A and B are shown apart, each in its own frame.
Chain A
């Protein structure tokens, strides 16, 4: 027997137990074995449970059966259930499936917890926990424990060996026709597999895998293209390809699928996960803005294996955390739950069925603006006011009422959701504090990523609370959260108005307020007063030299929330809802807007903004010139679009439909939710397929449509310049014709007598411009 210390790297069912991989301080990987007997529960009448017992016994399933009592949080009582303890973890899912199919009317509990999660819950572990294991000579774990904590702010990570695999020109999608040699990088060296011979390619990949023995393989398009192609060729040429470290099992493949979520079609490509080694496909990973550092934090917090963490949404993560809390509290974890909304009168529905409050922004350019932001408002409400599916409509606390809607809420027993969220909120605040204190750019980025991972987990918890099919979702709890949210926003509004501020905009959990000459100390006093009145943390998110709230593009009379930009006194520009923030906007257009905003951010007052207007026009003219000279790189002009349906289902000839059909005709399989990229080649062409081209099939023979891109660029410029008094008509008349950048000044001076150029421009011309 010996003691081994290291980081918990991978856990999965194998043989009669589980395989556990530890990576020690020297970076060596150890394959260990442990036992695990996970249980699920069956609920029903005594007669029904007896029938289940008899059936399982007859079927000779490797289980142990027991009568047990467990707490049903939704029913607020203990239930007598049948505990089915599975003796071979690898058969757990199959046994659950058989019982469920044979007895479809009975309730199952704890039935879809993964084997890795069971192991983590039972041993008090989590991915990348630094553990101490007592093992025997057969590498079987006698005992394993950790002193590490999921809530630790600072923790060491193992010295992982990484290998990256991608095709040259990694960003281009090989599923859409891109072909290039394979690039393999490890130990700071890149090897290019130049050969066209598939057999040779497989042999070379095998050599590199054996030589590098990486812990992590990071790929681009590995899930959907590189790995399946390599596996196919490996089978064809009978070359064992050691992607898995555990040679006793094959990599796990899951098929591609498309699904509908929050009004969008999402496409998940097929996935290939490994055993004893991680495969992370950057093109198929849900790492949002927090990267691998954040993903590690999410894996530790949610107790999901790393390869799963990067492939599922943060919503699945928060659900896993709730499962963990329920498991440790001994609650039954519902399987395929559907909690219907309770009956309400029409009046009750009118009162309760509301979302957060949105005060439409006051359109225009505003100076001396501050943004106050309730920190993680909805999760904080759940934690502070004990909002959880099982605490709503509490019978033991009839006097404790949710404002506005009057639901009673338990004050005696801590709810499952608040218990899950409270430490998460605390940890996020701690990271945000460290982010503020950080002095180096590296440290700042490190803490930003960690805090961001927490933010995304917290953002999704509210949606899951209102989803009737979520394990711990209940619509009344969701309504209680929004009711508290509205009440607290109104209290905050009352306080800021009482202090003489004007509310320019308010959106669920944040307020944009304005009062000329406000000192920082007054903002601090204001936030303290709001915190006292609401019992929720609120932060001064930023003080802005100016903020521009934009009107709707469709209806210029209407203001729209979340379409604004502003220059803070310190820090980066704040931009929401404009082209530069959208994922589908060409890089060329984004850069134009960012260049304009960077220039504008230097100005603090109306006069300073007016003074730089000519410079802004020069920036626009330079971009237009670049387009007209044919110098804009095609890659920067590509639109990115997510297909809302399959190519043949499009009825009209939109550019997206044309490109999707073109790709399909070239043999590229496309599903709804997949992303395509294309450049507009001739927008007015009679032949639809000439109007736009997929980036993967653009060759030297194709150029871009100058007129169309000029239009797009001018529209993007208009978005930024409208608050300064410039509209699209003015821009077009000055710039859309034959205007080189150096002629802007001359053109401005040649304006027609009496032509109105907008308030700021008039000011600029009367002051700075003419004196220059």
Chain B
């Protein structure tokens, strides 16, 4: 049906498959971390597909870095909100 190359999801799956022995050998807590990194990659499958780089690994690495930064920003925001909460005594909750 008009597709010759693997889709970005297939590329990600191949990449995960290649890392499976490494994942298996990791300690449980390290494996959990790596699984989260892989999930960050999957979450960006659409932009990876759109960019269609000849070597997808560069983008995979970038998506993981982006995911970590996003988590960092989220934590910073939570800390800032916590500080503001302590200063103002606000009780508003996010729904």
Binding site for B on A (CB under 8 A): 341, 346-347, 349-351, 353-355, 357-360, 362, 367, 463, 466-467, 475, 478-479, 486, 490, 506, 555, 557-559, 605-607
**Among B2, B43, B46, which residue has its beta carbon within 8 angstroms of that of A357?**
B46
B5 within 8 A of A: yes
Pair A350/B5 contact, Cβ less than 8 Å:
yes
Pair B43/A355 contact, Cβ less than 8 Å:
no
When each residue 1-17 of chain B gets 1 if its CB lies under 8 Å from chain A and 0 otherwise, what string results? 11111010100000000
Told that A463-B1, A466-B2, A559-B43 touch, could you supply 12 new A-B pairs with CB distance under 8 A? Answer: A346-B54, A350-B5, A354-B49, A355-B49, A359-B46, A360-B42, A362-B43, A367-B95, A467-B1, A486-B50, A557-B42, A558-B39
B65 within 8 A of A: no
**Known contacts A353-B3, A467-B1: A490-B50 contact under CB 8 Å:** yes
**Among A346, A478, A605, which residue has its beta carbon within 8 angstroms of that of B2?**
A478
Number of A-B contacts (CB under 8 A): 61
Question: A559–B43 Cα gap in the complex (Å)?
Answer: 7
Question: A136–B9 Cα gap in the complex (Å)?
Answer: 67
Pair B35/A557 contact, Cβ less than 8 Å:
yes
- Chain A residues closer than 8 Å to B53, beta-carbon distance: 350
Pair A558/B95 contact, Cβ less than 8 Å:
no
**Known contacts A350-B54, A557-B35, A605-B95: A479-B46 contact under CB 8 Å:** no
Sort A-B residue pairs by CB-CB distance and give the 9 closest, nearest first: A466-B2, A557-B39, A478-B2, A359-B46, A475-B2, A357-B46, A353-B5, A350-B52, A360-B43
Q: Is the interface of A mostly helix, strand, loop or mixed?
A: mixed
B36 within 8 A of A: yes
A to B CB contacts below 8 Å, 5 in the list: A353-B3, A353-B5, A358-B9, A358-B46, A557-B38
**Among B36, B43, B50, which residue has its beta carbon within 8 angstroms of that of A354?**
B50
Question: A287–B34 Cα gap in the complex (Å)?
Answer: 47
Pair A360/B45 contact, Cβ less than 8 Å:
yes
When each residue 29-72 of chain B gets 1 if its CB lies under 8 Å from chain A and 0 otherwise, what string results? 00000011011001111100110111000000000000000000
- Chain A residues closer than 8 Å to B46, beta-carbon distance: 357-360, 506
Pair A357/B52 contact, Cβ less than 8 Å:
no
**Among A341, A357, A362, A558, which residue has its beta carbon within 8 angstroms of that of B50?**
A357
**Among B4, B9, B35, B44, which residue has its beta carbon within 8 angstroms of that of A349?**
B4
Closest B residue to A486 using CB positions = B50
- Chain A residues closer than 8 Å to B45, beta-carbon distance: 358, 360
Pair B52/A354 contact, Cβ less than 8 Å:
yes
A562 to chain B, nearest CB (A): 13
**Known contacts A357-B49, A367-B95: A558-B42 contact under CB 8 Å:** yes
Interface centre among A347, A350, A558 (most CB of B within 10 A): A558
Closest A residue to B9 using CB positions = A358
**Known contacts A490-B50, A557-B35, A606-B95: A353-B42 contact under CB 8 Å:** no
B45 to chain A, nearest CB (A): 6
Question: A341–B4 Cα gap in the complex (Å)?
Answer: 10
Pair A349/B7 contact, Cβ less than 8 Å:
no
- Chain B residues closer than 8 Å to A486, beta-carbon distance: 50
Closest B residue to A474 using CB positions = B2
Question: A625–B33 Cα gap in the complex (Å)?
Answer: 41
- Chain A residues closer than 8 Å to B4, beta-carbon distance: 341, 349, 353
B72 to chain A, nearest CB (A): 18
- Chain B residues closer than 8 Å to A605, beta-carbon distance: 95
Closest A residue to B53 using CB positions = A350
Closest A residue to B45 using CB positions = A360
Question: A605–B2 Cα gap in the complex (Å)?
Answer: 44
Closest A residue to B1 using CB positions = A466
Closest A residue to B35 using CB positions = A557
- Chain B residues closer than 8 Å to A367, beta-carbon distance: 95
- Chain B residues closer than 8 Å to A463, beta-carbon distance: 1
- Chain A residues closer than 8 Å to B49, beta-carbon distance: 354-355, 357-358
Pair A559/B1 contact, Cβ less than 8 Å:
no
- Chain B residues closer than 8 Å to A354, beta-carbon distance: 7, 49-50, 52
Question: A555–B35 Cα gap in the complex (Å)?
Answer: 9
Pair B52/A351 contact, Cβ less than 8 Å:
yes
- Chain A residues closer than 8 Å to B43, beta-carbon distance: 360, 362, 559
Closest A residue to B16 using CB positions = A555
A467 to chain B, nearest CB (A): 7
Closest A residue to B4 using CB positions = A353
Pair A479/B35 contact, Cβ less than 8 Å:
no
Closest B residue to A557 using CB positions = B39
Question: A557–B45 Cα gap in the complex (Å)?
Answer: 14
Pair A559/B42 contact, Cβ less than 8 Å:
yes
- Chain A residues closer than 8 Å to B38, beta-carbon distance: 557
Question: A601–B50 Cα gap in the complex (Å)?
Answer: 36
A356 to chain B, nearest CB (A): 9
- Chain B residues closer than 8 Å to A479, beta-carbon distance: 2
Pair B36/A557 contact, Cβ less than 8 Å:
yes
Question: A349–B54 Cα gap in the complex (Å)?
Answer: 10
A756 to chain B, nearest CB (A): 18
Question: A341–B1 Cα gap in the complex (Å)?
Answer: 11
Question: A355–B10 Cα gap in the complex (Å)?
Answer: 13
Closest B residue to A476 using CB positions = B2
Closest A residue to B52 using CB positions = A350
